[in-house]
Amino acid sequence: MLGEAVMVLFYDIEGDDADHDDWHSHEHFAERLAVPGFLRAVRWVALDDGPRNLVTYDVTGTDVATSQPYLDRLNDPTPWTGAMMPRFRGMVRGFAEVLAGAGIGLGGEALVLRFTPEAGTEAALAARLGALVPKLVARRGLVTAHLLRPAPPPPMTREQALRGRDQAMPWLMLVTGYAAEALEGLAGELRAAAGVAGTAGRYRLHHMAAAG
């Protein structure tokens, strides 16, 4: 990750995915990356039954969620965005702090584990998974690993009102690599290390852009 935090979204689109991808790549990425604090935008698409779209925005910090430039943008959607928002389904969205991270760049294949720790176990869990992060990127075929802890939900805005209230962001473990086989079986290993069931999904890099 390029900053100290990341904004993450999981969702599906009703209707034509190609229409969504056109809007997302040619308008939405540019909009978001023009907001101070947004550093990089990445869209991933599902390789299994998880939500089709996983979008990550590297940001300077979780305070971007309540920054005035960001809220101004969300409360003044363009006509294209206004037409797209009602088609969003199952939106899980939030900002998260990077508790641990290692590696260089991004791999084209990703595994993401979503989970919610039991109350009182968060510190021990963060230490256990944080210690695993550098060991993962030392494996052949894997290049990055990040443990993400959710921040408080961002405020309601005009964009969110158009699509319906977002679901809260859980904890995340995001691992990327250049070899798909290196991610095989990793979901079970992460579940065991975390001591939680969690929901795992496999994704492929679809489009990436950086501010400036």
Determine phi and psi for 128, rounding to 5 degrees: -65, -50
pTM for this prediction = 0.95
Using one digit for the tens of pLDDT, what is the confidence trace for 90-111? Answer: 999 999 999 999 999 999 999 9
- What's the rounded mean pLDDT across residues 112-129? 94
| DSSP state, residue 84 | H
Q: What is the mean pLDDT of the chain?
A: 96
pLDDT in tens, 179-206: 999 999 999 999 998 888 899 999 999 9
Q: Which domains occur in the chain, in start order?
A: 5-210 (3.30.70.100)
| Residue 80's pLDDT band (cuts 50, 70, 90) | very high
At position 71, the amino acid (one-letter code) is: L
Q: CA distances (Å), 170 to each of 15, 29, 104, 108, 201, in order?
A: 27, 24, 25, 23, 14
**pLDDT band at 154; cut points 50, 70, 90:** confident
The model's confidence at residue 45, banded by pLDDT at 50, 70 and 90, is: very high
Greatest extent of the chain over all pairs of C-alpha atoms, in Å: 47
